[in-house]
Amino acid sequence: MATAELNGAAIVDEASFHLESRRAFGFPDSYADSIDAWVDCLSYLRDDENMTKFTIKPGEVLEIVIVDAGKMKLAVPDLLEEIAFCVGGINERYQDYGDEPALELVLR
């Protein structure tokens, strides 16, 4: 299983979340540092769009691990909730296209 690891202790606001996401996912230079762009990039994991450094096959899952998630939850609880909501929405998008869910969020 492919894994992208975000450092929750380093995420104290939306800007630091996008910086960590750029590092962990290998988003393209055109990444717009917004939740909408985050969702868009992670919606192409099974395509050859090069929106992330990950390409997964049908049935495979990208595990998003947030280490020190407790620290992130203290600093930006709403953002952590939004990320979980977006992961669910991305998985629904995959299912709408007849594919299996592509993401799993793990808080450590």
Q: Report pLDDT for 62.
A: 98
Q: Are 105 and 87 in contact (CB under 8 A)?
A: yes
**Each residue of 17-68: pLDDT tens digit?**
999 999 999 999 999 999 999 999 999 999 999 999 999 999 999 999 999 9
Q: Structural domain of residue 45, as residue ranges?
A: 2-107
* CA dihedral of 33, 36, 42, 46, whole degrees rounded to 10: -130
CATH number at residue 94: 3.30.370.10
pTM of the model: 0.96
Number of domains in the chain: 1
Rg over CA atoms, the chain: 13
